Copies of this chain bind each other. A is one copy, B any other.
Amino acid sequence: MKLVTAIIKPFKLDDVREALADIGVSGITVIEVKGFGRQKGHTELYRGAEYVVDFLPKIKVEIAVDDSLVEQVIEAVTNAARTGKIGDGKIFVFDVGQVIRIRTGETGPDAL
């Protein structure tokens, strides 16, 4: 099993969620994060003093899926989250050793 995590622009969340639903992903977990990357923040003036907003708000989406679905998920997220402008974000994929559904104790793919 894999955990696909994607850092995306916040206003793309709904599109990504819908794209994932369309390919049958039944659960995701979402986290508010701040990102620092090629997309630069802005320098603002607050009361005449400089104010660098380095960190931009981003959303991190975590999707645990069966290995067989990974490519589809990546594609869905990429398409839904892409604006073509700098700062669209990244996808990282990790191996998951074990999955357990707390409610039932099920493990493995059944737990998703």
Q: Which A positions have Cβ atoms within 8 angstroms of B?
A: 2-3, 6-8, 17, 26-38, 54-55, 58, 60, 64, 70, 74, 77-78, 81-103, 105, 111-112
Residues of B within 8 A of A7 (CB): 29
A82 to B103, CA, bound (A): 6
Contact A92 B101 (CB under 8 A): no
Q: Which of B17, B28, B58, B100 contacts A74 (CB 8 A)?
A: B100
Residues of B within 8 A of A8 (CB): 102
Contact A93 B86 (CB under 8 A): no
A27, A82, A96 pick with most chain B CB within 10 angstroms: A27
A1 nearest CB neighbor, chain B only: B92
